[in-house]
Amino acid sequence: MGGNNTAGMFYLYILHSPTVKKFYIGFTGDDLSERIRRHNSHHKGFTGQADDWELAYREAFPTKVEAAARERQIKRWKSQQRIQELIERNKP
């Protein structure tokens, strides 16, 4: 993560797959659209089980440490409902 970070930002992101009805929480310093494309390519791993992952939420951070901390915080929730509430509260 972070190989092509030309903007100097790191992103916490939440993906949702309608097929498997699950969320994936991650962070990256790479281009976000490229990272999502890689999630949707067939591979081993959690997101390899579907190819319809959509960006549901994101937050930008100036440092990798902050993005990673936010990822850990949200993952500790272990609640789809709480994640969904976060997404709904922040819709434009």
What is the 3 state secondary structure string of 16-50?
EECCCCEEEEEEECCCHHHHHHHHCCCCCCHHHHC
Average pLDDT, the chain: 90
Inside any domain, residue 5: no
CB atoms within 10 A of CB 87: 14
32-39: which pairs have CB atoms within 8 A and are 24 or more residues apart?
A: 32/58, 34/4, 39/15
pLDDT, tens only, 56-74: 999 999 999 999 999 999 9
Whether 26 maps to a domain, the answer reads: yes
Question: How much is the pLDDT for 44?
Answer: 83
Q: pLDDT tens digits, residue range 22-53? A: 999 999 999 999 999 989 887 888 998 899 99
CATH number, residue 76? 3.40.1440.10
User: Does residue 69 sit within a domain?
Assistant: yes
Structural domain including 38 reads 10-89
- Per-residue tokens: 23: 């969320």
Residue 20 lies in a domain: yes
Residue 7: per-residue pLDDT: 63
Q: Are 28 and 13 in contact (CB under 8 A)?
A: yes
Q: Cβ–Cβ contacts within 10 Å for residue 64, how many?
A: 15
Q: What is the pTM of this model?
A: 0.86
Q: How many domains does the chain have?
A: 1
